Amino acid sequence: MTLLSAPLAHASFLDHPVDSGKWTDEYDRYFKKYSKRYFGPLFNWHWFKAQAIAESALKSDAKSHVGARGLMQIMPGTFSDISKQNPHFSQLDMPKWNIAAGIYYDRTLYRKFKKTATQDKLYMTFASYNAGYGRILKASKRTESKEKNWEEIKPYLPKETRGYVKRIRKLMGEH
């Protein structure tokens, strides 16, 4: 049994940091390429690999019960919208285009958080990816501050979304 085919309930490797060597480097070139393209050369591409691990355990054939597919667990409708802006993103189930579309979508979400510190913007981007931007916006409106930060918004989000962002942070070595 390889690491990536281990049952999720018994796979303690799933909590190892993204750069621990426990994960395949098979898709790293795509995470690097599209992170650089959409977030710039200084952005740490491991964040998006950690996101893919949280989404699919790096299984390119992953499918969710609601229809999300691939490494980045993108809904077909979302992929269709993204590919209208990027016609070369040809196939949702092709790892290269699934990763490209996921990171492109992250960028569109990231840019929506204008009055937010960089690290908080990233956490809220991941939360939006998971729960939807509208839900993050509603949570944000429930706080008193004009400068939005993750710690203020987090209590107003679904438990699943808080856990999702926490998992990505843990995969990045944060606690």
Instruction: Please name the fold of domain 25-111.
Output: Lysozyme (1.10.530)
CA distance 80 to 128: 18
Give the domain ranges of the chain: 25-111, 115-175
> What separation in angstroms does the CA of 164 have from each of 26, 40, 134?
23, 24, 17
Q: pLDDT per residue over 55-85, tens digit each?
A: 999 999 999 999 999 999 999 999 999 999 9
pLDDT tens digits, one per residue of 15-58: 677 777 778 899 999 999 999 999 999 999 999 999 999 999 99
